[in-house]
C-alpha cells in the first residue's frame, strides 16, 4: 500500500502538533563561555621591585620569547612577593604563557650575548629546565571555563 499525500500530511500534522516532538527530549549541551579570563599567579619573585610581564601565546609561533608574536601582553608593578596577572576576553582554546621579572624596569627581558635570560623567567605548567627554551607542547593548557587559574614559578638564572 502506497502512502498518499493526504496520509503523509496527516502524519506530519500529528508529529508537529504543539507539545509533540518526533525526538526524545534531550537536555541541551552546556554552552561554552563566550569569553574566558586567565588568571596567572606569579610566584618566586626575588625582589619587591620592577615589573612582572606576561606574554600569552595561542600557538608555538613566537613562543616563548617573541613579544611581537604574543596574542596579549600584560604587565604589573611588583608590590609583594607574588603577582597576579589577568588576561581577559579569551576565546576557549589552547594557550601557553611566558612570564619574566623586569628587575631594572627597562621594558625588556635582559639576556646575555647568546640569548640566555639574565632576569627571572617562567612558563606555564612549570616544565623542568632543559637545554634550550621550553617547548609550547610542554607549557600549553586548555581554557574552556569562565575563569582559568594557573601558577607560574619564576626561575632565577
3-state SS, one letter per residue, for 18-69: CCCCCCCCCCCCCCCCCCEEEEEEEECCCCCCCEEEEEEECCCCCCCCCHHH
Residue 119's pLDDT band (cuts 50, 70, 90): very high
* Overall average pLDDT of the 33-52 stretch: 93
Give the model confidence (pLDDT) of 70-94 as tens digits: 999 999 999 999 999 999 999 999 9
Q: What mean pLDDT is reported for the chain?
A: 87
Question: Residue 130's pLDDT band (boundaries 50, 70, 90)?
Answer: confident
pLDDT of residue 122: 97
- The pLDDT of residue 12 is 46
Percentage of the chain modeled with pLDDT above 70: 80
Q: Is 8 a residue whose pLDDT tops 90? A: no
Amino acid at each position: 500500500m502506497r502512502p498518499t499525500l493526504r496520509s503523509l500530511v496527516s502524519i506530519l500534522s500529528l508529529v508537529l502538533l504543539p507539545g509533540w516532538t518526533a525526538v526524545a527530549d534531550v537536555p541541551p549541551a552546556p554552552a561554552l563561555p563566550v569569553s574566558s579570563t586567565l588568571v596567572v599567579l606569579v610566584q618566586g619573585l626575588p625582589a619587591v621591585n620592577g615589573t612582572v610581564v606576561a606574554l600569552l601565546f595561542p600557538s608555538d609561533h613566537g613562543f616563548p620569547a617573541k613579544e611581537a608574536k604574543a596574542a596579549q601582553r600584560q604587565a604589573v608593578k611588583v608590590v609583594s612577593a607574588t603577582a597576579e596577572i589577568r588576561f581577559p576576553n579569551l576565546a576557549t582554546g589552547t594557550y601557553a604563557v611566558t612570564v619574566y621579572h623586569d628587575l631594572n624596569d627597562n621594558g625588556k627581558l635582559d639576556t646575555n650575548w647568546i640569548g640566555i635570560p639574565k632576569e627571572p623567567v617562567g612558563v606555564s605548567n612549570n616544565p623542568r629546565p632543559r637545554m634550550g627554551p621550553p617547548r609550547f607542547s610542554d607549557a600549553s593548557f586548555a581554557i574552556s571555563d569562565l575563569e582559568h587559574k594557573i601558577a607560574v614559578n619564576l626561575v632565577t638564572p
